[in-house]
Amino acid sequence: MKIEGKRALWKDYQKAIADDHYFYVRSCVRQTFFPGAEKAFIEIMKNRLGKDLYEEPIHTTCTGIAYHSDIVPLETTMTVVARQFALMTETGYENLAVSCVTSFGVYSEVLETWHHFPETEEKTREMLWKATRREFKKPANVAHASDIIYKFRDQIAAQAVYPLINRETGKPLRVVEHIGCHYAKMFPHKGVGGAEYPYVLVGMIESWGGEVVDYPERRHCCGFGFRQYLIQANRGYTFSNTKKKFDSMAPYKPDMIITNCPGCPLFLDRGQYAIAELEGITYGENGYGIPVLTFEEVAGLVLGYDPWDLGLQFHQVAVEPLLDKMGIPYDPAMKYAGPGGKFIGSPELPETLKC
Amino acid sequence: MQVRAESSSEALNCRKHLNADILLMHTRKHIVVIGGGVAGMESAIHLCDMGYEVTLVEKQDQLGGHVLKWDFLFPDHRPAYEITNELCPSVEEKANIKLQTEVKNIVKQNGHFEVALSDGEILTADALLVATGFDLFDAHKKEEYGYGIYDNVITAAELEERFQNKIPIRTAAGKKPARVGFVHCVGSRDEKVGNEYCSKVCCVTAVKQAMRVKESLPGCEVFCFYMDLRMFGRYFEDLYREAQEKWGVQFIRGRLSEAAEDIDHRIIVKVEDTLAGRPLRMAVDLLVLLTGFVPSEGTKRMAAMLNLPLGNDRFIKPSDEHLRRNLTPVPGVFVTGASSGPRSISESISDARAAALEIAAWFNHQTQHAVK
Amino acid sequence: MNWQFALHPDHTINLDHNNRSLAQLLEEKEPTSRICMACGSCGGTCTAGQFEPISFRHILLMVRRGETESVRSELTKCMYCGKCTLVCPRGVNTRHILALLRTMLIN
């Protein structure tokens, strides 16, 4: 593989990413399933990078899940998005920092629709006024949170305590990077590096010392797709796609997977459990799985935060083998300790997947 | 009107077929042919034979254009060098050749064209013939095919070069491929890269090359991934049948969606087998991209310089698609070869002869009117 | 634990996994099986095909892709009327191929 070929392509897909004063909008899935991730992002942005990042307490979901499941019509989504923009305008911000990739897709899609069909924007303004008496300005810049971490990856590298290196062998960790579909597949020019060979996570991995693993099903969707997973009977469809990715990356023996979408790690992580129990296949070493982390969690580990503060105990696939490889110290006794160090109970272990 | 009296004896020596009427009617006109590929050369030869003075301007250091890089031609597998071996010496003998020279500027005044060349010379021409031809589509632009990224993705032109230099067909690692895939329509019939037109000759080229690969590597499986098979010319259907019947080339109707590289550097091909109605995937050891035609840099420059209209495929648009294929709306400016659209070598040669005739007819018409 | 769902089988035609030995045997016994151009003249005229899911074009295609299981049932619909052989513009000996496949797959 000729990396220069990819670098030439990446040059064609550069995007403007604001460098400060962000209005942060959270992700439904990330908050719920990876609670430490957004906390880490806010902590890193404010205290490690010295940025102004504001989170409005009364902001809401972007309605992405509902929109993509055909539960709410596009007009509703547009109005809710408009309300988010209104809150941003009212608090004096114009740069949107979006936690979720689906949200990023929703905001991009809504703004593009308004651009090409100005009557829809007008209608949305009308509806927002009627519903909330709010008005809004469109954001000057819409960046995904991973774009922002990508932008400051070298500053993070400069403060790195645990680079992405295998301390036992001295070699860079082999990292699979997985991008959420709505990051670049809808609008390739809104993703760093485009849709074919996205660069946003590659840049982070390279900057933090890791080695990127390219594998045939790199572009393939993890299978999340709202419609499938919402209904239990359809989840086989989701996990069939997840399995396709794992089967493709397995020969490369990656040490970890890093993602920028909140839904993808949910399925890449939990999916390994489902596939192990349904099919008896595991993809990590010795019956373990391949650890799946969000980019905020990886940034947090690299900067030396405690893994349990980052919420890694909530992952299905055990992260301890990875922590050991990276030389990150952790206290196993504190894994399931709540506030004040009190044991909060540990999950039942799967039969096939070693955790 | 200029009469080049000093060369009238040369004119007599030059001509093969004397036509007394032509001899009487015209004074020695000068035509500048821009582009020394097969079309430029062929038209220059015929114009000289008709008694005109021709200067042929070519930007490379040799005549011949793209044909120099082909090994053997469809439909009869004849060696490409036979074409250039006939045309090049003939035109070199008859016309003024300027190699490694480009046209910098053209000014029309007093019914002539003042053609400023890159070597500083300024030619005065009574007519111009644009024969600047095509370039091949840059396969890097199809990101999802991995050209320039995966080691075992090459273009048809690169494969042809291997044929020409007798280089054995091997993967990047030097192994004999067990499977070779040919991808039709790369950079053609594709809105995403801005080329919605069909480049015409790629399908028959793929079939031609597929058979040659089978011939060189009898144990190799060869697959062609196509949307339609444009076997437009004489004997082309026979080639298709021969490829299947004699050589066992397999044709899968489905356009390449994406190519990826596996851990062994094989190329994983994803297409829909449209005739089966299901997606199909397979690993090939070498993937050959049939890149289409785009108007060459020279064609784009000349069209802009001379204000020639372009079709929506960005090739030069002649005055009439049926009756005046070599004329342009600009009097005295003619066009031939692939600069006015994708065409095969034999078609370019025929078109070049037509262009020579059109130029002669135009001069005759002018002379008649002048006489009147 | 009852998952209430199962993983889906792969729907793709995988030419790396499929066994195409049947197609190769067919080529040896009936070389015209190579020259089908998938025009569909056979399927359009097929007697049985007017009422049942059978098309010679489809059968030959699937066999050549190594998807033999999917044609077992289709093959049984053929009435051996010979209309497909009559109309084939490439001269594929369709009737012979159908008979061969029947022997190889069903009998």
Q: What is the dihedral of CA B274, B275, B281, B285, to 10 degrees?
A: -110
Pairing outcome for strands A95-98 and A141-144: parallel
| Residues with pLDDT less than 70, chain B | 1-27, 370-372
Q: Does C37 touch chain B (CB under 8 A)?
A: yes
Angle (deg, nearest 10), helices A118-132 and A101-116: 120
The residue among A317, A198, A319, A183 whose CA lies nearest residue A263 is A183
In this structure, the answer to whether residues B120 and B41 fall within a common structural domain is yes
CA-to-CA distance for B307 and A191, rounded, in angstroms? 39
| pLDDT band of C76, cuts 50, 70, 90 | very high
Q: Does B228 touch chain C (CB under 8 A)?
A: no
Domains of chain A: 17-145 (1.20.1050.140), 162-330 (3.40.50.11810)
Four-residue CA torsion sign, C75, C80, C83, C87: positive
Beta bridge mates, B259: B269
- Which chains have 3+ CB pairs within 8 A of B? A, C
Range of the domain at B88: 5-133+296-371
Cβ distance of C1 and A232 shorter than 8 Å = no
In this structure, the answer to whether residues B18 and B129 fall within a common structural domain is yes
CA contacts within 13 A on the Cβ side of B99: 10
Secondary structure class of A350 (helix, strand, coil): coil
Tokens (6 digits) for A341: 């160090």
Provide the chain A residues 104-143 that lie in CB contact (below 8 A) with chain C: none
Closest Cα in chain C to A240: C7
In this structure, the answer to whether residues B281 and B301 fall within a common structural domain is no
Cβ distance of A236 and C5 shorter than 8 Å = yes
CA-to-CA distance for B78 and A325, rounded, in angstroms? 63
In this structure, the answer to whether residues B237 and B354 fall within a common structural domain is no
In this structure, the answer to whether residues B169 and B217 fall within a common structural domain is yes
Contacts of A348 in chain C (CB under 8 A): none
In this structure, the answer to whether residues B318 and B271 fall within a common structural domain is no
In this structure, the answer to whether residues B158 and B277 fall within a common structural domain is yes
Q: How close, in Å, is residue A290 to chain C by CA atoms?
A: 20
pLDDT at C92 over 60: yes
Neighbouring C-beta atoms of residue B320, cutoff 10 Å: 10
Tokens (6 digits) for A276: 């192990």
**Across chain C, which distance is largest between two alpha carbons, in Å?**
58
Contact A325, A168 (CB under 8 A): yes
CA-to-CA distance for C15 and B268, rounded, in angstroms? 11
In this structure, the answer to whether residues B56 and B11 fall within a common structural domain is yes
Angle in degrees, CA B331, B333, B335, rounded to 5: 135
Angle in degrees, CA B162, B38, B117, rounded to 5: 110
CA-to-CA distance for B37 and B65, rounded, in angstroms? 4
Q: How close, in Å, is residue C70 to chain B by CA atoms?
A: 11
Beta bridge mates, A97: A24, A143
Contacts of A251 in chain B (CB under 8 A): 262-263
Contact B75, B203 (CB under 8 A): no
Supply the DSSP symbol for B23: H
Neighbouring C-beta atoms of residue C43, cutoff 10 Å: 17
Cβ distance of A215 and B150 shorter than 8 Å = no
Give pLDDT tens digits for C11-62.
999 999 999 999 999 999 999 999 999 999 999 999 999 999 999 999 999 9
Q: How close, in Å, is residue B193 to chain C by CA atoms?
A: 28
CA-to-CA distance for C40 and B280, rounded, in angstroms? 20
In this structure, the answer to whether residues B41 and B177 fall within a common structural domain is no
Cβ distance of B282 and C14 shorter than 8 Å = yes
ipTM of the complex, rounded to two decimals = 0.94
CA-to-CA distance for B191 and B230, rounded, in angstroms? 19
CA-to-CA distance for C20 and B184, rounded, in angstroms? 24
Tokens (6 digits) for B103: 């046209």
Secondary structure class of A28 (helix, strand, coil): helix
Contacts of C1 in chain A (CB under 8 A): 277
In this structure, the answer to whether residues B254 and B315 fall within a common structural domain is no
The pLDDT > 70 percentage for chain C reads: 99
CA-to-CA distance for A82 and A59, rounded, in angstroms? 11
Q: Which of B269, B292, B315 is the last residue of a domain?
A: B292
Closest Cα in chain C to A351: C1
Neighbouring C-beta atoms of residue B178, cutoff 10 Å: 15
Helix%, strand%, coil% for chain B, nearest 5: 35, 25, 40
Angle (deg, nearest 10), helices B38-49 and B345-371: 40
Cα C67 versus chain centre, distance: 8
Report the pLDDT averaged over residues A208-227. 92
Q: How close, in Å, is residue C17 to chain B by CA atoms?
A: 9
The residue among B4, B118, B122, B17 whose CA lies nearest residue B356 is B17
Number of domains in chain B: 2
CA-to-CA distance for B267 and A269, rounded, in angstroms? 28
Contacts of B262 in chain A (CB under 8 A): 215-216, 251
Helical (H) or strand (E) element with B334: strand B333-335
Domain at B43, CATH number: 3.50.50.60
Q: Does C99 touch chain B (CB under 8 A)?
A: no
Give pLDDT tens digits for A128-181.
999 999 999 999 999 999 999 999 999 999 999 999 999 999 999 999 999 999
Of the candidates A233, A237, A279, which has its C-beta nearest C4's C-beta?
A: A233
Cβ distance of A236 and C1 shorter than 8 Å = no
Contacts of B143 in chain A (CB under 8 A): 9, 194, 196-197
The residue among B205, B188, B187 whose CA lies nearest residue B143 is B187
User: Which ranges in B170-284 belong to alpha helices (H)?
Assistant: 202-216, 236-245
pLDDT at A47 over 80: yes
CA-to-CA distance for A185 and A183, rounded, in angstroms? 6
Contact B43, B95 (CB under 8 A): no
Q: Does C39 touch chain B (CB under 8 A)?
A: no
Phi-psi region of A183 (alpha: psi -120 to 50; beta: other; left: phi over 0): alpha
Strand ranges for B160-215 from DSSP E:
179-186
Cβ distance of A243 and C7 shorter than 8 Å = yes
Q: Which of B292, B323, B355 is the last residue of a domain?
A: B292
Overall size of chain B counted in residues: 372
Q: Which of B236, B260, B292 is the last residue of a domain?
A: B292
Q: Is A117 exposed, middle or buried (0-12, 13-18, 19+ CB in 10 A)?
A: exposed
- Which chains have 3+ CB pairs within 8 A of A? B, C
Cβ distance of C5 and A277 shorter than 8 Å = no
Cα C96 versus chain centre, distance: 13
Angle in degrees, CA A118, A120, A124, rounded to 5: 120
In this structure, the answer to whether residues B143 and B107 fall within a common structural domain is no
Tokens (6 digits) for C56: 């010679």
Q: Select from C1, C2, C4, C5 the residue whose CB has the most chain A CBs within 10 Å, as the one to mutate to test that interface.
A: C5
Contact A130, A122 (CB under 8 A): no
Cβ distance of B280 and C34 shorter than 8 Å = no
Q: How close, in Å, is residue B280 to chain A by CA atoms?
A: 14
Provide the chain B residues 8-47 that lie in CB contact (below 8 A) with chain C: none
Contact B361, B47 (CB under 8 A): no
Cβ distance of B140 and A5 shorter than 8 Å = yes
Domains of chain C: 21-105 (1.10.1060.10)
Closest Cα in chain A to C10: A240
In this structure, the answer to whether residues B37 and B157 fall within a common structural domain is no
CA-to-CA distance for C19 and C69, rounded, in angstroms? 11
Tokens (6 digits) for A265: 């790690």
Q: Does C52 touch chain B (CB under 8 A)?
A: no
Q: Does B240 touch chain C (CB under 8 A)?
A: yes
| pLDDT band of A304, cuts 50, 70, 90 | very high
Pairing outcome for strands B293-295 and A95-98: unpaired
Cβ distance of C61 and B275 shorter than 8 Å = yes
Closest Cα in chain A to C6: A236
Q: Which residues contact B162 (CB under 8 A, 6 or more apart)?
A: B168, B169
Beta bridge mates, A293: A258
Closest Cα in chain A to C2: A278
- pTM score, whole prediction: 0.91
pLDDT value of position B176: 98
Tokens (6 digits) for A30: 């990330």
CA-to-CA distance for B271 and B279, rounded, in angstroms? 6
Cβ distance of B240 and C37 shorter than 8 Å = yes
